[in-house]
Chain A
Amino acid sequence: MTTSNASPFVDEDALFRPADFMAHADTDEREYANYSYIRETVNRFLSNKGALVSLVVISLIVLVAIIAPLVSPYSYSDVNSSITNLPPRIPGLEQLGICDGTQNGVDLYAEAGIPNEYHFFGTDGLGRDVWTRVWEGTRISLVIALIAVVVGVLIGIVYGLVSGYFGGKVDIVMQRFTEVLSSIPQLVITTLLIVVLQPGLANIVIVLFITGWIDMSRIVRAQVLKCKTQEFTLAARTLGVSSRDIIFKEILPNTMPQVVVTFMFSIPNAIFLEAFLAFIGLGIPAPTASLGTMINDGYNAAMIYPYQVLAPVMVLAILMLGFNLFGDGLRDALDPERS
């Protein structure tokens, strides 16, 4: 890398200088450790700050939802007409003058005759402890959403893979079926089904699942259609890879980013749909709480007792933000091209 003396350019004129090649020679030889795909995904996920925070937040909410109703001295269904609509009272914070159980300067806890009790989020119109009910409701909402979405996603993935990969008549029949199903308004299906099946935990899961898997199957099918004509799939075919292996090893990983994001968006959607069913009176029957039924109960008195609606809304909002960030981080972690 020496310049000849005859060159009309002096060193200072040279725009490009030869780099020290040997210093970079090892860059290309850098060893990439032989980690499994799952471990690499976890590593990539953990290096994403937003995703990590969302993971902690979701875990905290899940943990509290499990523990809080267990350790709370109140049950979610205890009705006590003498302590209705109490404001929040939290030990520690009450010294600071907030959440001290007073409303308009009156200590309602003393008035109700329970000066030593603490309802962290206050009580509702029937005297039930909102704190216990919020976490009980979070539990129920999460269980409903998770079961419905997980089952829906699994069915949707398989349906989309089969429909997209085999194509032709199989695809035509399968797509017409989903079109018929999705052409009936979701509201009509859910209402009819709930009316026929009676409101209840299992039946709400079934309803959410029936309307939830179609989106996923469409997204997966679109990805499959894209991947199956790409050269890496053709290469696998020329090497005699079986259809099963092509679907699961070549095509399925390529659908994962979309699947994960859709999955994570589906959870808050399912919680919302459940809340909506509660709103039109087809939700989980009382006294069982879900975030949806609590928001609808609190909504009636939102102007006078805002904490009754604020508590479940906050939990729902944080949960949804958490799931979206989590989905984003997971999508990036699953995709080796993004890192």
Chain B
Amino acid sequence: MGAAGVVEQGGPLLSVRNLRQYFKIPGGNVVKAVDDVSFDIMPGETFGLVGESGSGKSTTGRAVIRLDDITSGSIVFDGDDISGKLSKEVAQRLRTNMSMVFQDPMASLNPYRKVIDTIATGLDAHRPHMDRREREELVYQMMDRVGLSRSQANRYPSQFSGGQRQRVGLARALIMNPKLVIADEAISALDVSIQAQVVNLMRDIQQETGAAYLFIAHDLSMVRYISDHIAVMHLGHIVESGRTDEIFSHPVHPYTRSLISAIPRFNPQVERDRHPLVYDAKAQGIRYDEGSYHIVSGTHSVLATDQQLEAWVD
């Protein structure tokens, strides 16, 4: 997918370099949630960020949209450096051009605000003197686009199902026509049939608007379905990244291999013989801080030492 977006050649829309996000915890310890992460997102493409719970993928998403102040590194979005303190104009551009869809459809909508007001949050923040009719019309158009009926505009979130709420969250994120949407486990809380609906909806919208997605998920098969590029995160590091077909046809890093080996197959004969690979960084003597990024082919890169790479590529 992404054929509509990738035609635009040129610089990346989002460029993250050496992003570090450390959290101090009581007792003087420091949690290195994200440690030296770099990646680029091209305009209009879908970038999948996968990894297990606690691998730092959500923290990366939150750092990119500046919900948290980052420890070090640089984030350049659409030509603006957004890693330091934001000037008023840069903040304005960041807030209108980048938005986020959250994981929990119950908690991500304010129970005291009607859906129409929730969707219009961005409009109210950036165009406060907008005509009431115009605002209503924009919200209705957005509701049509995400598959909600206009008659539902005056309901409260408690009157919706989980899938509908996630559509509301998506509409809220899309109302300002952002160039980048961060979907933080946006479909993880939905059941599988609704996941498919929402993912297909996101793809359709991408084809219409050319928005880029940073798609954060732990479900590899879903990420494979939607992403152009994939980065696999583990313990705060990106261990392997590349185009979706590169990652799935030639997984190099043992962690990636173990993740892929864990995907259930549809063919019962294949499934019967499937043996998930076990990955244990300590037992296998892999230390992420010793490795460096090696290009395997094209955009495909792996975090490894020279010896490890030699051993893995065979």
Which A residues lie at the B interface, using CB under 8 A?
28-35, 230-232, 234-242, 245, 249-250, 253-254, 256, 335-337
CA distance A253 to B149 in the complex (A): 26
**B110 — nearest CB in chain A belongs to which residue?**
A232
- In the docked arrangement, what's the CA distance between A234 and B61, Å? 12
Q: Give the interface size bracket for B toward A.
A: 35 or more
Instruction: Give the distance to chain A from B180, nearest Cβ to Cβ, in Å.
Output: 11
Q: Among the listed B95, B111, B125, which residue makes an inter-chain contact with A254, where contact means beta carbons less than 8 Å apart?
A: B111
Q: State whether B96 touches A240 (Cβ < 8 A).
A: yes
Assess the B103–A238 pair: CB atoms within 8 A.
no
Q: Chain A interface mostly helix, strand, loop or mixed?
A: helix
CB distance from B135 to the nearest CB of A (A): 13
Asked whether any CB of chain A lies closer than 8 Å to the CB of B220, the reply is no
Known A33-B154, A337-B158; judge A239-B172 contact (CB<8 A).
yes
Give the complex CA separation of A253 and B154 in angstroms: 17
Q: Is B156 engaged at the interface, CB distance under 8 Å to the other chain?
A: yes
Is B214 located at the chain interface by the 8 A CB criterion?
no
Chain A residue with Cβ nearest B117 = A249
Indicate whether A240 sits within 8 Å of B110 (C-beta atoms), given known contacts A32-B155, A34-B154, A336-B156: no
User: Given that A33-B154, A253-B110 are known contacts, is A239 also in contact with B125, CB under 8 Å in the complex?
Assistant: yes
Instruction: Report the bound CA distance from A32 to B107 in whole Å.
Output: 23
Within 8 A of A (CB), among B71-114: 91-92, 94-96, 98-100, 102-104, 107-113
Measured CA separation A35–B172 after assembly (Å): 22
Given A239-B95, A337-B158, answer yes or no on A234-B67 (Cβ-Cβ < 8 Å): yes
A31–B126 CA distance with the chains assembled, in angstroms: 29
28 A–B pairs (Cβ distance < 8 Å), ordered by A = A29-B149, A31-B151, A32-B154, A32-B155, A34-B153, A231-B103, A232-B107, A232-B108, A232-B118, A234-B67, A234-B100, A235-B100, A235-B102, A235-B108, A236-B125, A238-B67, A238-B95, A238-B98, A239-B95, A239-B172, A240-B95, A240-B122, A242-B125, A253-B110, A253-B112, A253-B113, A335-B111, A336-B111
- What 8 pairs between A and B have smallest CB-CB spacing? A240-B95, A253-B112, A231-B108, A32-B154, A336-B156, A232-B110, A231-B102, A239-B122
CB neighbours (8 Å) of B102 from chain A are 231, 234-235
A238 to B154, Cβ gap below 8 A? no
Chain B's closest residue to A253 (CB) is B112
Cα A238 to Cα B110 with chains together (Å): 15
Question: Within the assembled complex, what's the spacing in Å between the Cα atoms of A253 and B109?
Answer: 13
The CA-CA distance from A66 to B96 in the complex, in Å, is 56
B65: A residues at CB distance < 8 A = 238
CB-based contact A241/B125 at 8 Å: yes
- Contact yes or no, A231 B104, CB < 8 A: yes
B: which residues have CB within 8 A of A? Answer: 65, 67, 91-92, 94-96, 98-100, 102-104, 107-113, 118, 121-122, 124-126, 149, 151-156, 158-159, 169, 172-173, 176
Is the beta-carbon distance between B110 and A250 smaller than 8 angstroms?
A: yes
How far apart sit A230 and B169, CA to CA, in the bound complex (Å)? Answer: 14
Q: A28, A235, A253: which contacts B172 (Cβ < 8 A)? A: A235
> Which residue on B lies nearest to A256, using beta carbons?
B112
Could you say which residues of chain B place their CB within 8 Å of the CB of A250?
110, 113
New A-B contacts (11) at CB < 8 Å, excluding given A240-B122, A254-B111: A29-B151, A32-B151, A32-B152, A34-B153, A34-B154, A231-B104, A235-B108, A238-B95, A239-B99, A239-B172, A335-B111
Chain B: minimal CB distance from A76 (Å):
45
In Å, the complex CA distance between A230 and B103 comes to: 11
CB closest residue in chain A, given B126: A240
B109 touches A232 (CB 8 A): yes
Are A240 and B111 neighbours in the complex by a CB distance under 8 Å?
A: no
Q: How far is the CA of A239 from the CA of B67 in the complex (A)?
A: 11
Task: Tell me the nearest residue of chain B to A227, going by C-beta.
Answer: B110
CA distance A238 to B108 in the complex (A): 12
Nearest residue (CB) in B for A32 is B154
Name the B residues within 8 Å of A336 (CB-CB): 111-112, 156, 158
Chain B residue numbers with a CB within 8 Å of A337 are 111, 156, 158
Q: Which residues in A have their C-beta under 8 angstroms from that of B173?
A: 235
Query: B91–A240 contact, CB under 8 A?
Result: yes
Which residues from chain B contact A34 at a C-beta distance below 8 Å? 153-154
* CB closest chain-A residue, reference B102: A231
Q: Name the CB-closest residue of B to A238.
A: B100
A235–B92 CB distance below 8 A = no
Residue pair A254, B124 in contact (C-beta under 8 Å): no
In the complex formed, the residue of A with least CB distance to B107 is: A231
A154 to B313, CA, bound (A): 68
Residues of B within 8 A of A35 (CB): 154
Distance, CA A329 to CA B102, complexed state (A):
33
Are B149's CB and A245's CB within 8 A?
Answer: no
Measured CB to CB, the nearest residue on chain A to B93 is: A240
| B152 partner residues in chain A, CB cutoff 8 A | 32
Chain B residues whose CB sits within 8 angstroms of the CB of A234 once the complex forms: 67, 100, 102, 108
A residues in contact with B176, CB < 8 Å: 239
